Amino acid sequence: GQGQSAGEFYTPKEVGWVMAYCLDPKQGQEVYDPACGSGGLLVKCQLALKEKEKKISKPLHLYGQEQNHVTYAMAKMNMFIHDMEGDIAIGDTLVSPKFLDGSALKKFDLVVANPMWNQDGYDAQFYEGDTFNRFNYGYPSVKSADWGWIQHMHSSLHDKGKAAIVLDTGALSRGSGTGRSNKEKEIRANFIKHDLIESVLLLPPNLFYNTMASGIVIFINKDKPKVRKNKILF
C-alpha cells in the first residue's frame, strides 16, 4: 500500500519490533490484537520469539480482529505467508468482540495493537450499555475512543498480562489543562490510581503513513515488579 491509505492497515515495522521486544513474549503465550489490520504486530511477536529462542516447541497462539473485510483478508494471507497459525475474526471489536469465554471476554497473556486514533461514533449510551464490564474506569467522550480501546485491552488481559498500545500523543494530555472535569483525564487518573501504566514511549514524528504527528506506545502491566510499583517510566 502507498500513501496515507497504508496507515489504515500497516504499522511501521520499526514500531512493531520495539513493541514485540518490550513485551518479550514467552513460548506458548496467547497474543491478541483487537485492531489487527494486516496482522503485522502479531507476526512481529512470533518473529521476536523465534529470534530469542533457538528451539520453539510451543509457538505463540495468535488472535486478531479486524473490521475492514479487505484488511481482514490481508491479515489471513499474512499468517499464511509467514507459516503461522492465527485465529483472525472480522467485525467491530468495541461493538462486538469475537473472542469470548462463555459470555465474558477471553483473557490473553499479551495484547498488542495500533487502533484507529481518535475514533468517533461511540457515545455514552454505548459505553453504559456494554455487557462485558470493560469501561469501569470511565466513559470516553464521543469524539475519541482512545481510552475505550485501552480499557477493552486492559479487560482482555490475564491477571499478570501485559499490553503495548500505539496511540496519538493527545491520549496523554487531552483535558489536563482545563480546571473543569474531563472524561479522558478522569480515566487516566483512574489508571494511575490503580498502578496499571508501566511506561510510555514517545515515538519520533513523520513515522506513520497517515499522519506527521508523533505517536506514543502505552505499556500496561497488571503485574508490575516491586521496583516499579507506583512509578511510570516516560
Q: How many whole angstroms separate alpha carbon 125 and alpha carbon 143?
A: 14
Distance of CA 200 to the CA centre of its chain: 13
Q: What is the pTM of this model?
A: 0.92
Give the count of beta carbons closer than 10 Å to the beta carbon of residue 72.
22
Going by DSSP bridges, is the β-strand pair 108-113/197-202 parallel, antiparallel, or unpaired?
A: unpaired
pLDDT, tens digit only, all 234 positions of the chain: 544 455 555 788 899 999 999 999 999 999 999 999 999 999 999 999 999 998 899 999 999 999 999 899 999 999 999 999 899 999 999 999 999 999 999 999 999 999 998 899 899 899 999 999 999 999 998 999 999 999 999 999 999 999 999 999 999 998 876 666 689 999 999 999 999 999 999 999 888 777 777 899 999 999 999 999 999 999
Residue 188 CA: distances (Å) to CA of 54, 66, 182: 40, 26, 10
